[in-house]
Chain A
Amino acid sequence: MYEALAMAGREATVAEVVAEVERDRIFFDQSGGGATVSGGEPLSQLRFTARILAELKTRRIHTALDTSGYAPWESLWSAAGLADLVLFDLKMIDPKKHAAYTGVPNTIILSNLKKLAETGRPIAVRIPLAAGVNDDEANIRRTIEFLKPLPAVRRVDLLRYHQGGREKYKNLGQENEFKIFEPPAPSRMEEIRKAFTGAGFAATIGG
């Protein structure tokens, strides 16, 4: 009777979010963890994101910004410049394919990643992999070629596609909008990981 219809998410002030993070400080101190601002896309709430990062910085809590990188450089930098680590999504290198799957070209994403790397800020590049979408040799090779010259990028997280979002779409009544892909075979994941480690990256499957 209660909680039958639940509101997913809630409105919160910066102070409330920070207080929530503070509650888990003892665990961060122990594990070397911290807070990750993620989304959706946290840069779409730029001021809020930046204020949370700034506030946590003054409290010496380690922060990570999880972003698609699709934003004007100034916006990205105003948040990423405050985070201890940027988790930067990189789906594919081919601009046309990128546009076809995500609806936007990746020109600004790639240029942002380059610029961010030049600042020396620690970056973990996160590559979600779906079979037949971006797990092909060409994309992997081009990704490695793109990342190799970037000085700050050493860590690559390879994320095997999962259908975790399906329930969310369903709850929103938009199940038809949810596109189903197939995850790459575990053996293919391992090949890709080896390709990255062979190129000198610290690559792991999972994040």
Chain B
Amino acid sequence: MTPRVQKLREQSLAAVPTVSGERAELITEFYKSAEANRVSPAVQHALAFKHILANKTIVINDGELIVGERGTAPKATPTYPEVTCHSVQDLKILDSRPKTSFKSDPQLWKIYEKEIIPFWRGKSIRDRMMAELPQEWKDAYEAGIFTEFMEQRAPGHTVLDDKIYRKGMLDFIADIDEAIAKLDFLADPKALDKREELRAMRIAAEALILFGRRHAEMARGLAKAEKDRTRKRELERIADVCEWVPAHAPRNFWEALQAYWFVHLGVITEYNTWDSFNPGRLDQHLNPFFSKGLADGSLTEDFARELLGCFWVKFNNQPAPPKVGVTAEESGTYTDFALINVGGLKADGSDGVNPLSYLLLDVIEEMRILQPSSMVQISAKGPDPFLWRALRICKTGFGQPSIFNSDAIVKELVRQGKAVEDARDGGASGCVEAGAFGKENYTLTGYFNMPKVFEVALHNGLDPATGKTIGLKTGDPRTFKTYEELFAAFAAQLRHFVDIKIRGNNIIERLYATVLPAPFLSILIDDCVKKGKDYHAGGARYNTNYIQGVGLGSMTDILSSFKFNVFDKKTVSMKKMLEALDTDFAGAEDLRQRFLNKTPKFGNDDDYADDIMKTIFEAYFGAIDNRPNTKGGKYRINLLPTTVHVYFGRVTGATADGRKAREPLSEGVSPVQGADRKGPTSVLKSAGKIDHIRTGGTLLNQKFTPQLLADEEGIRNLGHLVRSYFKLDGHHIQFNVVTAETLREAQKHPEKHRDLIVRVAGYSDYFVDCGAELQDEIIRRTEHEGF
């Protein structure tokens, strides 16, 4: 690492996240203007975007080569009152809460009180949503049956392809003008709507050019004043770069990185999109610039490495926008889920690993920061040394990169109806979500708490936590004669709540489409320009909605316990079982121990439990897959938790797998913490029985002690384990390599372990930033001692 990158990295790590009021003030100012009230919503929002980029503070930090901040300083994080308008109370909570806090001062609170809140109250999407959503939705949401992703953050969940490396904003403007010229006002009754959308996109493209030029001006000014001759030259070079991109297509490695960074800032300034935004297949996109630069002598490998280091720091300077309430619970992290994809396949199906892939892995290892997160795509065609290189980084124990199966991703996307070339150009983003990069809007709509749904089924539609009836009357389980009756009750409730969720989504998505279009993002995702349609309204080539299932492992063990103990062995009556659960196993510790230790469980390659898992998968898949969404696309499932398994556990009573009330649920497709007793191969065999290809992503956590991977043989064995799981169509696997002892020590003395990064779910986080419950749960996750 060069001294420059080292310094920038340290500054980024030390920067304290704050709330920046600048964006909120600018957007409010614009929306109050006369101009805002004369135009269509699309043009209105494009003009607002332009107003922000034309007036926001331009930041060029000392020593950096890649420039641009979303806020007024590193980690100064804007708010998005048009999406969710924080109350002063929210800001105070953000300021003072112990984890993932955002500092703000009374001056900002005053501005919020006087300017921001009075204007946006009742107008923000969140307020409109809450006014429109039916009571049944609110009841289920409050009970913790599901969460709602679009409540505080705008739909994003998309990743860029290679288009910005081929085209500048001026080229996009030419495309937009061509699309406008082609509009047929005679034959196309939607022609006017399309023209408005396209005009909005044009304004947004101009806004980004303006934003780039403002950086060029500032760099020129700084260069003039700079005494240090080296830095002066650098600033002049930065000015040249920013004058060229994003207006034009980049011509070299430096410009390519800066072009992406402007686009990234554009997307995350337009809205607080979920999963920020992501360059995706960085080694594929940058390799032409890299090899050309090396060949003509204009670039050295060392300088490429330094530029990448500067680029990495920029991601780390942008924490996920502040979240409160349930949204903070489901994703309690500063990480904003930009997931750099390395490796994988080319569009023609050949191996995509190139020299830059290895260089990126060096950078990942060297930078060792939260953001951007990183992953490798491993295809059957991919070289073993590439896999081993990635695993050697995993061994250093900061949870990156995570390992994905390219071949499974392609099969998943093709099953969903995508062209195979688009699928191969895709990858995974966020935690583990498969997508066709640059061509798809794949919106995650919320997590779905399977064990809670089952709890409602056990109580004949009633939520025992509140005594409210929120589900169907599926019958008193004490009258059930067979396991099949019990399962049917669960499946019926599942369908019921999925229906409620989809009815809600249909309202929320149309609110975004009509009230808050996303003209800038629309430029970047095919085929919004071609269709003259906004990203939120179905402009993308592919439009997928996900409902993310949580607690597959827990749910399997719960049903296994009912089947085994109540129906097959008949060692416990249904009455006694329900009593034990309702009283949180008070006076029934023997029963709980039997459930914990003498009942078949998922994760042990035991077909008794694993067959039950398959039936749960089918019920969940059947309730969701292929149902239409508002954007002309379909619903699909995936199985991942972020941090919601902790929150979902907290709202769910004791369960028949021996779990006490309020404890976390299983995460991803991993077994219940500690339920896997037969080692990692059995976990992989059980997880391999999930039909990953019919999902859009699954998440499997494995934890190893460093000793196991001490030598190259350990790395190769781990490589075999990964390849074996991928032969079973496994979608993703990630490794936590750290001892439980170290974690306990860090819990006691957080001050000494600030840098301890662990894999949480689809992302890594600082261990000391995780809540106490989450810390305990990470420690409990099975620590495998041997293969």
Contact = CB atoms under 8 A, between A and B. Distances in A.
Q: Bin chain A's interface residue count.
A: 10 to 19
Contacts of A30: 720, 723-724, 727
B717 interface: yes
Contacts of B721: 27
B720 A1 contact: no
B717 A26 contact: no
Given A27-B681, A30-B723, A2 B593 contact: yes
B116 to A, nearest CB: 57
B162 to A, nearest CB: 33
Given A2-B598, A31-B717, A33-B720, 15 more contacts: A1-B589, A1-B590, A2-B597, A3-B597, A23-B681, A23-B682, A24-B685, A27-B720, A27-B724, A29-B724, A29-B727, A30-B723, A30-B724, A30-B727, A206-B713
A3 B596 CA distance: 11
Interface string B673-693: 000000001100100100000
B593 A26 contact: no
Contacts of A29: 724, 727
Contacts of B605: 23
Q: Which 4 residue pairs spanning A and B have beta carbons closest together?
A: A31-B720, A30-B724, A2-B597, A27-B724
Determine which residue in B594, B713, B723, B728 has the highest number of CB atoms from chain A within 10 A of its CB, and name it.
Answer: B723
A1 B724 contact: no
A59 to B, nearest CB: 17
Nearest to B594: A2
A23 B685 contact: yes
A27 to B, nearest CB: 5
Interface of A: 1-3, 23-24, 26-27, 29-31, 33, 206
Contacts of B589: 1
Interface string B701-721: 000000000000100010011
Contacts of A23: 605, 681-682, 685
A136 B681 CA distance: 40
Interface string B593-612: 11011100000010000000
15 contacts: A1-B589, A2-B594, A2-B596, A23-B682, A23-B685, A24-B685, A26-B685, A26-B727, A26-B728, A27-B681, A29-B727, A30-B723, A30-B724, A30-B727, A31-B724
B296 to A, nearest CB: 43
A145 to B, nearest CB: 30
A33 B685 CA distance: 17
Contacts of B713: 206
Contact of A24 (B596, B598, B681, B728): B681
Given A1-B590, A31-B717, A26 B724 contact: yes
A190 to B, nearest CB: 15
A1 B593 contact: yes
Nearest to A33: B720
Task: From A24, A27, A31, name the one whose CB has the most chain B CB atoms within 10 angstroms.
Answer: A27
Nearest to A32: B720
A101 B728 CA distance: 48
A56 B590 CA distance: 41
B146 to A, nearest CB: 35
B679 to A, nearest CB: 10
A26 B728 CA distance: 8
Contacts of B682: 23
A166 to B, nearest CB: 17
Nearest to A26: B724
Interface in B494-538: none
A121 B537 CA distance: 70
Contacts of B720: 27, 30-31, 33
Contacts of B728: 26
A31 B685 CA distance: 15
Contacts of B596: 2
A31 B716 CA distance: 9
Interface string B725-749: 0011000000000000000000000
